[in-house]
Chains A and B, each alone.
Chain A
């Protein structure tokens, strides 16, 4: 990877003064044959801890606190505190599409003009980017607040030492349903896939990790260790349900309007969506399937060429429980920062006591993540795409 950025390109870009390109990042890349990891850690220790004038932060829409005048208070406070400008862009709306957009520059050794991006682990892309060497290592020295990371998130199997990533928010995937239409409570994935009363009123997700994961759990298999046998068993189950017309559609989060309108009675749903839907439809419920739920995490990552120190300081800011509480109060997904819940109990108990935002241990113990290697296995991916019709 380091060979891709030639001296010529570096000089050209430095002269043009173009996108925010970090000297440490590029030096690391030009550094020679040694892996990017070693190079960048050397680089950050030799470069003074100086903040850049602007930090560019790409995120998903509505994933940060919004105050009056459409500003983002947590960012404004950061800017005031550090005398730095944050260019906040909400241009990530789908992992694969965003990756498709940045892989071009990254594969050619060009910077993507961003210091911090946020991508989901269940897409397999953070894992892929680590493999491809397209991520910078975090400057842990600049992130003392990393101690506030909740235990459940400290050692994910794809980044065991949190060298490249820090969670921004998490979400759980479970069953969303309308008890009035379903005629009671349900909590079984098998119910969704085989109950004739629900025929044509069920949707599953186009997210491979979520759909295959939940079905594997219903088979009693472990989704974090996918084998051909467990894969095929889950696939067969879903195929049967598709062929029989049990499953109406595979959706992204466009299950939400269908559930709200009663066109769909039960579906695989994301916890954060349900919090919003319940505001207008209090009857709708979200439940952890009895065989287990999936949990996904949107992670902050530093793409190659981003300013490592600046990005790390920004990450550290959001691991301050006070700031995390501000963000959580608005975003309403699952907070990865210890202490934010305690603060919110005093300022916004409704949010603090919502199990979909601050899930109890019983929820988290039954939440699983998908096998990272399987996420990038071409055969499995092809299989799944055929399953959902493409």
Chain B
């Protein structure tokens, strides 16, 4: 058996890849091909004709630049906040969770068992203009006397952060839990205090998790629309809302498709920059065998 594997070693990665990538190629790439064709078409519903309409892309960007920028902004801020909130929690679960680790992981995704609408209704109750939270913030003058939390950018960002929290916590946990505590001990044996051993040992070793968490949060958050719709005013609408309305209400499929590709492109560019900054080789390739 071992010999067989040895001889066909070059094929192993491809064998491993095939089932999953085949699934993605059939059920994602092919639809994307249709979508790309649509992005280069023009016309009015339901008659669209393919015509290498590259102007769809430039039109989309110029018409909706504010929403694009805003989406990337909101997603970025939400990702940052999520990272700050999630890291200590993931750390705690990984190092202090003990036997209950899996339970805490389950607790982290538990909010998803209650559908999005119900979670958001609950937040609307908590952050209501006449609720406790707003009143306290008004008393301590963080909010003006007529201030509100709902229907603001803060609410939208808070909604995005909350709803993507598990996507940051889980990858962070996955990476942290793996860190050999003896390395940390060794650092303190070498006279590092707790802060230093965290900064020099734990943090760098957890970077793959940070990278994964940031990706899993930022990428889908940039395309989100539902938080802006329920928790924001027209001034908070994101590119996801535009795509939603172009697709469903206006039924301008070419524009909707073009907008989607521009969004995908923008996100990919940012991801590549981020990966370069962190040094991807270390983060996506394992230590060589």
A–B: direct contact at CB < 8 Å = yes
Interface residues as binary, A187-207 with B (CB distance below 8 Å gives 1, 0 otherwise): 000000000000010000000
CA of A258 to CA of B155, assembled, Å:
15
Is the CB of B230 closer than 8 A to any CB of chain A? yes
Per the 8 Å Cβ criterion, residues 226-247 of A in contact with B are 242, 247
Shortest Cβ gap from B214 to chain A (Å): 27
CA of A97 to CA of B44, assembled, Å:
18
Instruction: List chain B residues, Cβ under 8 A from A385.
Output: 245-246, 249-250
**Segment touching B, from A41-49, A76-84, A248-256, A310-318:** A248-256
**Segment touching A, from B174-182, B233-241, B269-277:** B233-241
Beyond A100-B247, A248-B233, whether A389 also contacts B124 by CB under 8 A is: no
Q: Find out whether the CB atom of B130 lies under 8 angstroms from the CB atom of A263.
A: yes
Is the CB of A382 closer than 8 A to any CB of chain B? yes
CA of A200 to CA of B233, assembled, Å:
10
CA of A131 to CA of B125, assembled, Å:
44
Beyond A200-B146, A381-B250, A385-B245, whether A242 also contacts B234 by CB under 8 A is: yes
Instruction: List chain B residues, Cβ under 8 A from A388.
Output: 234
| In-complex Cβ contact of A254 among B146, B230, B245, B248 (8 A) | B230
Q: Find out whether the CB atom of A389 lies under 8 angstroms from the CB atom of B241.
A: yes
Is the CB of B108 closer than 8 A to any CB of chain A? no
Identify the closest chain B residue to A262 (Cβ): B130
| In-complex Cβ contact of B245 among A257, A262, A263, A390 (8 A) | A390
Is the CB of A132 closer than 8 A to any CB of chain B? yes
Instruction: List chain B residues, Cβ under 8 A from A387.
Output: 234
Which of B125, B130, B233, B241 has most A Cβ within 10 Å? B233
| In-complex Cβ contact of B232 among A107, A249, A263 (8 A) | A249
Instruction: List chain A residues, Cβ under 8 A from B249.
Output: 96, 381, 385
Is the CB of A103 closer than 8 A to any CB of chain B? yes
Per the 8 Å Cβ criterion, residues 245-289 of B in contact with A are 245-252
Instruction: List chain B residues, Cβ under 8 A from A103.
Output: 46
Shortest Cβ gap from B74 to chain A (Å): 14
Instruction: List chain A residues, Cβ under 8 A from B247.
Output: 100
Identify the closest chain B residue to A258 (Cβ): B124
Shortest Cβ gap from A2 to chain B (Å): 16
Instruction: List chain B residues, Cβ under 8 A from A250.
Output: 234
Instruction: List chain B residues, Cβ under 8 A from A390.
Output: 67, 237, 241-242, 244-246
Shortest Cβ gap from B80 to chain A (Å): 25
Is the CB of B210 closer than 8 A to any CB of chain A? no
Identify the closest chain B residue to A382 (Cβ): B250
Per the 8 Å Cβ criterion, residues 105-142 of B in contact with A are 121, 124-125, 128-130
Instruction: List chain A residues, Cβ under 8 A from B130.
Output: 261-263
Q: Find out whether the CB atom of B125 lies under 8 angstroms from the CB atom of A378.
A: no
Instruction: List chain A residues, Cβ under 8 A from B250.
Output: 378, 381-382, 385
CA of A132 to CA of B44, assembled, Å:
13
CA of A348 to CA of B251, assembled, Å:
44
Is the CB of B219 closer than 8 A to any CB of chain A? no
Instruction: List chain B residues, Cβ under 8 A from A381.
Output: 249-250
Is the CB of B60 closer than 8 A to any CB of chain A? no
Q: Find out whether the CB atom of A262 lies under 8 angstroms from the CB atom of B46.
A: no
Instruction: List chain A residues, Cβ under 8 A from B124.
Output: 257-258, 261, 263
Is the CB of B39 closer than 8 A to any CB of chain A? no
Known contacts A262-B130, A389-B235; 15 further A-B pairs (Cβ under 8 A): A100-B251, A103-B46, A200-B146, A249-B232, A261-B124, A261-B130, A263-B130, A263-B148, A381-B250, A385-B245, A385-B246, A389-B237, A390-B242, A390-B245, A390-B246
Closest 3 CB pairs of A and B: A389-B234, A389-B237, A390-B245
CB pairs A–B below 8 angstroms (13 shown) = A96-B249, A99-B248, A132-B46, A200-B146, A242-B233, A247-B233, A249-B233, A261-B125, A261-B130, A263-B150, A388-B234, A389-B233, A389-B241
